[in-house]
Amino acid sequence: MQIPIKQFSDYFFDEQSVSNRTSGLRLQISTVCTAHCTFCMNNTNPFEMKHIGFRDIDEIEKILYSMPPSNGVLMFSDSTSGRLISGEPLIHPKILDIFQLIRRKYPHNYIQIITNGTMLTQEFLLNMAAYNPINLDISMHSVNKENWHSIFNINKEDAYNNAINSFYLAKQYGISVSARMVVAPHWFGWNDIEETIKFLSQFVNRITVQPLRFSNKVSNELKEKWTYNMDELSDFIFNTCRKYGVMYIMTPDSKEPLNIPYALITNNLRACVYQQIKKVYWLTSRDAYQRFNDLIQALGRNFPVENEVRIVENKTFGGNVSSTGLWLLDDLLPTFEELQGQTVFCPNNFLDNYGFDMNGINIADVLKEYKIDLRLLEIFKD
């Protein structure tokens, strides 16, 4: 059987496969980037990722018509995690035509664009303002020019100035701005992080802070620079953002409560009681273990079921990666082997809607080899 839409565009299937793992609408148009960020996971993933270059505008038009009606935010060029390389959307040669297509389908929705800011000249921002409302989510990992160039590795002479000036110009043209920064305090120092937050607090209401994650493919020299204590970093970001009066989201944050509905836990424990299951196992990442274990033990007090939380390491990625969303099935196999015959609850956020992990292995095929009562949970972050 041939599926014409699949022959026309793999995007529909890639996006549909992860559509319930994120909120809102997403449109990914480019895997080309102006930057060569030192820490970019595009180059250090343990598996090959898809590189599509620039999507053809005819394909983008059909993608937009296939997307559902919505009043939500359109996440512009938000990459499909683990499946498509992320890129800089604003260098697409038909970018203004794409804005026009978006407004034909979604005339009033906010468009959120993740960008490194290097294309945001005064002329470009003026043209972009015609398609408001838009939010520019600008990556500004350091406000220091020398450090900025060391991170982004962009040779273009005016790139840094464009990125910095975009914060001033966007406000002038009625374009809202937020910011994101990847942080590793022992790379350029705690003061560099504070100075960057201080600068951003003049223009944005919210900063997304991402502690730097690296895989085993990174050199030992960089691993040493990029290693940090998560609790210490969490406290520093909290105090610094409070000092400069700016909201922030830190992902992951070792001191933030887990975003797990209580009913997800209690409903499953209640079902175990009805099914006369006396002991269950819960799988989580190392970073989330203490918070998750505390939650499970607290919610499990009223149920005659013994609960044990197990850590599954991100051995495929290695480095300092610790996230259930970045598990591969190979990471879980030793635990499946050990817990055969047991009831095991496992988050499903490392799988797509068809049960495939990022390496293209399907969980249904894996479970044929193990006698385990595996129960998947809809958990979106850890």
Q: Is the pLDDT of residue 377 over 60?
A: yes
User: pTM for the whole thing?
Assistant: 0.89
Cis peptide before 185 (omega within 30 of 0): no
pLDDT top residue among 156 and 342: 342
Q: What is the mean pLDDT of the chain?
A: 89
Extents of the domains making up the chain: 4-250, 262-377
Provide the 3-class DSSP secondary structure of residue 317.
coil
Count of CB atoms situated within 10 Å of the CB of 234? 18
Q: Is the pLDDT of residue 27 over 90?
A: no
Question: Averaged over 5-11, what is the pLDDT?
Answer: 49
Q: Is the pLDDT of residue 199 over 70?
A: yes
Distance separating the N- and C-terminal Cα atoms of the chain: 40
Q: Which residues contact 247 (CB under 8 A, 6 or more apart)?
A: 205, 206, 207, 241
- The CATH classification number of 262-377 equals 3.40.50
Q: Is the pLDDT of residue 246 over 90?
A: yes
Contact indicator for 331, 315 with CB cutoff of 8 Å: yes
Q: Where are the beta strands (DSSP E) in 213-324?
A: 247-250, 279-284, 306-311
Element (H or E) spanning 363, and its range?
helix 363-367
Q: What is the pLDDT of residues 321-370, one digit of tens each?
A: 999 999 999 999 999 999 999 999 999 999 988 899 988 899 999 999 99
Write down the architecture of domain 4-250 according to CATH.
Answer: Alpha-Beta Barrel (3.20)
